[in-house]
Amino acid sequence: MSSRLQNIIVPVISVILGIIAGGIIMLISGYNPIDGYAALWNGIFGEVYFMGETVRQITPYILAGLAVAFAFKTGLFNIGVEGQFIVGWTAAVWVGVAFDLPKFIHLPLALLAATVAGALWAFIPGLLKAKLKVHEVIVTIMMNYIALYVTNALIRGVIAVKGDTTETVHRSASLRSSFLESITDYSRMHWGIIIALVAAFVMWFILEKTTLGYELRSVGFNQHASQYAGMNVGRNIILSMVISGAFAGLAGAMEGLGTFEYASIKSAFTGVGFDGIAVALLGANSAIGVIFGAILFGGLKIGALNMPLEVGVPNELVDIVIALILFFVASSYIIKWAISRFKKGGK
């Protein structure tokens, strides 16, 4: 079996096993798994509003997943997507409330501010990795907390006029769409989904169709061989982290300019950046895989909200299903081994 086919089959089997295991847990807990999953389905597709909210949830997941996947593809583990997401959100809102410009200038400027903020936040661990060999996992984890408290201080002391919440961004910097809201029964779906899909294409194009992408992947596979071939390993490590952070910062803009249109003091992490790790893992670190992984996670998150209302199943069980899916994805070696044994047995 080709590696490409395995990359498709293994996540699908993992999802099926996770759903089956989640159903068993529901049954043990005294709930009807068929009713539970029916409520989950209705929470995604039962109403046009829910479908719009699902797309809205998918949007930042795609970009967060791309951030993690891009780093993975180039041999790096960016655990700092959450922090880069937060600084991107704050930067986008800052530009959105500080200026009042024509939309064709203001919106791109706010998106650019978020992208640059996320890229700069990722530049620091990339630089330390390239120059001092400091492991990016340690630095990016610490940078998450720095991002949380720095943005809180900026919101309270600089961006917000008073209190802990900024003003709503000007309409000229908003991603909201009256058209999309009207066709989805006034959900919070916005134009960010188009940006997310374009970003997925950009990632695929960079990694698969450019010399730069070839160098980035080569450095990820083997730094010593790449250096021997004349590639600048340090520059490529930094560039990988910067591009990864740019995707994460743009994900933050989706929330700051689209879903909420403001920024406020955060007492804890949003979780989008950490969920991006799961999305990338489920999508086998490919652009198209990330889109499907984001669709699954976005659907589960929104559909879970209907489970307590319709059949009384606590939505924490959906978190268990997600965790089980990730467990089976992480245990992909066992699934691959089982597939190979099945093939041998069939011969």
Residue 197 lies in a domain: yes
Residue 278 lies in a domain: yes
At 320 the pLDDT is 83
Percent of the chain topping pLDDT 70: 95
Confidence of residue 125 (pLDDT cuts 50, 70, 90): very high
Residue 82 lies in a domain: yes
Cα–Cα distance between 82 and 75 in angstroms, integer? 19
Mean pLDDT of 306-312: 89
Residue 8 lies in a domain: no
At 191 the pLDDT is 97
Cα–Cα distance between 210 and 207 in angstroms, integer? 6
183-223 residue pLDDT tens: 999 999 999 999 999 999 999 999 999 999 999 999 988 88
Residue 13 lies in a domain: no
Residue 56 lies in a domain: no
pLDDT at 145 over 90: yes
Mean pLDDT of 164-169: 95
At 74 the pLDDT is 92
At 281 the pLDDT is 87
Higher pLDDT, 326 or 152: 152
Q: Which amino acid would we find at residue 288?
A: I
Confidence of residue 346 (pLDDT cuts 50, 70, 90): low
For residue 64, give the nearest of 258, 251, 302, 284 by alpha carbon: 251
Cα Rg for the chain, rounded, in angstroms?
A: 21
At 3 the pLDDT is 65
pLDDT at 306 over 70: yes
270-293 residue pLDDT tens: 999 999 998 998 888 999 999 999
Residue 3 lies in a domain: no
10-37 residue pLDDT tens: 788 888 888 898 899 989 989 999 999 9
At 327 the pLDDT is 81
Confidence of residue 345 (pLDDT cuts 50, 70, 90): low
Total domains in the fold of the chain: 1
Mean pLDDT of 325-333: 74
pLDDT at 1 over 60: no
Residue 320 lies in a domain: no
Alpha carbon dihedral 298, 301, 307, 312, in 10-degree steps, equals 170
At 347 the pLDDT is 55
For residue 88, give the nearest of 147, 156, 141 by alpha carbon: 147
At 268 the pLDDT is 86
Mean pLDDT of 69-78: 94
Average pLDDT of the chain to the nearest whole number: 91
For the entire predicted model, the pTM comes to 0.93
At 62 the pLDDT is 98
At 181 the pLDDT is 94
At 334 the pLDDT is 73
Higher pLDDT, 312 or 111: 111
Residue span of the structural domain in which 276 resides: 61-295
